[in-house]
């Protein structure tokens, strides 16, 4: 079983978005983008969050699935930084 970073976050977990995520979301249909943002805000702030770590050149990052799209993010003591949002066939390129 993989080890997860300790969850020492408080209930008001802060989610930040890298500027490139705005561009990623603009490329998507508005309804899909809204669904992704809603799911990110709901699931990534949940105390039951179990991060799924990435491997290889993406080691240290985590993924979250929303339908056919993947959200790549990093954990820190200050909160969560969303790095990339893209279709599953493109997100790791």
Query: 47: Cβ–Cβ under 8 A, 6 or more apart, which residues?
Result: 7, 11
Q: Strands, E, within 1-93: which ranges?
A: 15-17, 52-53, 62-66, 69-76, 79-87
* DSSP conformational letter for 6: -
For position 1, what pLDDT does the model report? 38
What is the value of pTM for the model shown? 0.83
Is residue 92 one of the residues assigned to a domain?
no
Is residue 3 one of the residues assigned to a domain?
no
Question: What is the rounded average pLDDT of the residues 26-32?
Answer: 95
Question: What is the rounded average pLDDT of the residues 5-15?
Answer: 58
Domain at 72, CATH number: 3.30.2310.20
> Which residues form the domain of 42?
15-87
Radius of gyration for the alpha carbons in the chain, expressed in angstroms and rounded: 13
Is residue 53 one of the residues assigned to a domain?
yes
Is residue 66 one of the residues assigned to a domain?
yes
Is residue 93 one of the residues assigned to a domain?
no
Domains contained in the chain, number: 1
């Amino acid at each position: 079983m993989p080890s997860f970073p300790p969850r020492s976050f408080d209930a008001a977990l802060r989610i930040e978005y890298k500027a490139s995520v705005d561009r990623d979301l603009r490329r998507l249909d508005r309804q899909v983008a809204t669904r992704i943002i809603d799911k990110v805000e709901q699931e990534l702030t949940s105390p039951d969050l179990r991060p799924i770590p990435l491997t290889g050149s993406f080691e240290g990052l985590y993924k979250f699935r929303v339908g056919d799209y993947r959200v790549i993010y990093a954990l820190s003591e200050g909160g969560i930084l969303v790095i990339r949002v893209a279709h599953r066939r493109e997100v790791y390129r």
